[in-house]
Structure 1
Amino acid sequence: MGLASHHIKSTSTQNHRHAAIQLLRESLNMYSNPRDGYFMLDTIIILFSLDETQSSLGNWNTHLVGAYGVLEACGGIQGLATSARAEVQVGMLTWWDAITSLVSREDCVFPYAYCEAVLSNQSDREWDYFGLCGCPASLVKIVMQLARLITFDTNIILELEQALEFWHHISPATAFHDEDGMHCSEAWRNGLLLYIYRVFHWEPGSSIPMHILHRARAIVDHIVACRDESMVSRQALLPLFFAGCELRDRSLRRKILNFCSVWNERTRYHMFSTTIPLLEEIWAEQETRGFENVWWGQVIDRQHMSESCYPLQRRITFG
């Protein structure tokens, strides 16, 4: 991981990755107990993270399908009840699954039952979703539901939208200074509302309502308000991307690009740096075709189509 984060697509990194995949394949043919399965899930999670150090574009579903197969072979959801380690693994994997599916507007790999199993009894665990992905469990639940909303069910969309409108951050009882958590959570709340508008409400050619622009600005303001040293704001890359696609103010756009650049330099996850040309492509197309005629989904779909020559499906992720 350390090598990969400093050397994009280096031969050494690719060799290590290939060796890890080969060992994983061999293990898949040999394992005989759940404990082996959890070790393999660790490997898949590391490979997913390794690929994120290289780019936001990758074979994410390949990793997720492999992980789901391992979990099913280890007893499925029933196995989670006896393993705190597996709960964390599934929490991370289902989060990545949902974020990738949100962006591509395609089916998730993991059934919702896995998400429900992990979301239940969060208060009784040593870990929480905010520590895992920068999003509190109450919003994670909405993320998981939105990612699976492939049909335009008006009632469900309205229900989720209202839940987000009335949602408010509740600080944990043990948190004395939780401003960063509040700001990051608010960025996610507003980002999900932007997503609902663009995916389910927006009509091509129609002007963008002022309240949508206010939400986009609010996301940037909340991320700016996070303490620089905490770096928790980097967990809100997807909401920041959604905000960037709605804003025309050049100073705000520069601020968004600067966040991506700083997060990239500090974490060495080039998922952040590859977000920059994607935003620039969207802005350039908005300038050419008109702001009211372009949205992020068109550009992402085109990128996915350009990758169709690869034998494995490649998608964009922000998580």
Structure 2
Amino acid sequence: MSLGTLDAESSIRSKGSPDLETIDEPGSIPSSLFTSVPPTIEYSSLTQRFKPILNRYNSEFCTIPLTFQLRINPFRYRVDLDPEPTFLVHAVMALSGHHVNSISTLSHRHTSLQLLRQSLNVFIDAETMEDCVFPYAYFDTVLSNQHKREWDFFGLCGCPTALAKIVMQVARLSAERQNSFSTLVFAFDNTVISEIEQSLESWCHIPAATAFRDEDSMHQDQDVMHCSEAWRNGLLLYIFRVFRWEPGTSVPTRILYRARVTMDHVTSCRSVNMMARQALLPLFFAGCELRDRSTQTDIIKLCSVWDERTRYQMFRNTIPLLEEVWAEQETKGFENVWWGQVVDKQHTSKAHPLKVRLCFG
């Protein structure tokens, strides 16, 4: 059965059922004036209704985000959930529809977001820098149970576990810092940030035990190293901009060097396994700092290639965001533009009926 369209009603409608028949009686309306009513199918759940599409998602689409093939994939849709998370069904339908260019994609996406917001019943002030979508306590719980699981963070998202911990710490600290400025309740202590910077400076990739077993293993390990180094340098870029930089001051060359190194590590990954696509966020950080035109063009090309090969909109959406950052830098001067504010403008825009959340992987 073709799933080129995700209109489930048309793809799984029953065939060969008889039309509704009417019997002529004296004085009754002629049967020719009745419209034939097609039979309908009643489903006990959304999962049953969209089963062919959910099956294809589980067998094909849910593996695309992974760095490596994992026996247990947390991106799979579980059909045994009770109660059935309606917003999740629509989210999977929207994602599947995106992969096959279905016209129903936006409808499912809109429904999913609406239902999710209703179930959370959370309303956030658009003017505040938000906490993490996943609370740190949730991340800590996942981390403490990781030894029981058949996946790691690098296999899941291309970021080593040690650096994923720093991502969560820095995100939480940046929210705390912003709150300290807005509420004036307490002064933010940069001591923890200094410790994180030192740990990033000293961190290095440790080759796998099988790294030099053969040539393919060697290439694989080098790709892992380059992707990891892109994350490490990208995090150092982010820390400088959020915790060290003052608006109107120039960016030191050593920081711009981090941006160039991040870009070099991303482009050093082989294109055959698309591992570099997992470093979209650090690449975005680097792109916001690099003013060289040829380098900017290369970043746009990378995002375009990743968009075409993965069909994930986050790569396509990064391009206009970078172009907006570069345009503001041209207009206002590089030293006067904080690209975090450009991102914030996107998801606080009144033009969108639902709050936009930018996703970089």
> TM-score surpassing 0.5?
yes
Asked if residue 318 in structure 1 is aligned to residue 360 in structure 2, the reply is yes
Residue pair 1:130, 1:136 contacting (<8 A) in 2 also: yes
Greater per-residue helix proportion: 1
Matches of 1:64 and 1:124, distance apart in 2: 32
Matches of 1:160 and 1:196, distance apart in 2: 9
Q: Whose Rg is larger?
A: 2
Report the CA distance between 1:123 and its aligned residue.
4.5
Where does the alignment leave 5 or more consecutive residues of structure 2 unmatched? 12-44, 48-78, 100-104, 121-127, 178-188, 212-216
Report the CA distance between 1:166 and its aligned residue.
1.1
Matches of 2:116 and 2:193, distance apart in 1: 27
Matches of 1:191 and 1:159, distance apart in 2: 17
Residue pair 1:245, 1:296 contacting (<8 A) in 2 also: yes
Asked if residue 213 in structure 1 is aligned to residue 256 in structure 2, the reply is yes
**Cross-structure match for 1:160:** 196
**Cross-structure match for 1:283:** 326
Q: CA 1:117–1:63 in 2, change beyond 3 Å: closer, same or farther?
A: farther
Identical-pair percentage: 57
Which of 148, 156, 159 lines up with 1:132 in the alignment?
A: 156
Report the CA distance between 1:244 and its aligned residue.
0.4
Matches of 2:90 and 2:152, distance apart in 1: 21
Where does the alignment leave 5 or more consecutive residues of structure 1 unmatched? 5-10, 17-21, 25-33, 70-103
Q: Which has the higher mean CA deviation after the structures are superposed, 245-254 or 145-154? A: 145-154
When normalised by structure 2's length, the TM-score is 0.63
Matches of 2:323 and 2:239, distance apart in 1: 23
Matches of 2:286 and 2:136, distance apart in 1: 27
Matches of 1:52 and 1:120, distance apart in 2: 34
Residue pair 2:46, 2:89 contacting (<8 A) in 1 also: no
Matches of 1:110 and 1:271, distance apart in 2: 19
Q: Which has the higher relative contact order, 1 or 2, with Cα contacts under 8 A spaced 6 or more apart? A: 1
Matches of 2:288 and 2:4, distance apart in 1: 33
Asked if residue 222 in structure 1 is aligned to residue 235 in structure 2, the reply is no
When normalised by structure 1's length, the TM-score is 0.71
Aligned residue type for 1:163: S
Asked if residue 143 in structure 1 is aligned to residue 188 in structure 2, the reply is no
Q: What are the within-5 Å matches in structure 2 for residues 1-319 of structure 1?
A: 23=46, 35-37=80-82, 40=85, 43=89, 46=92, 49=95, 62=113, 105-120=129-144, 122-149=146-173, 150-152=175-177, 153-175=189-211, 176-177=217-218, 178-306=221-349, 308-319=350-361
Aligned residue type for 1:36: L
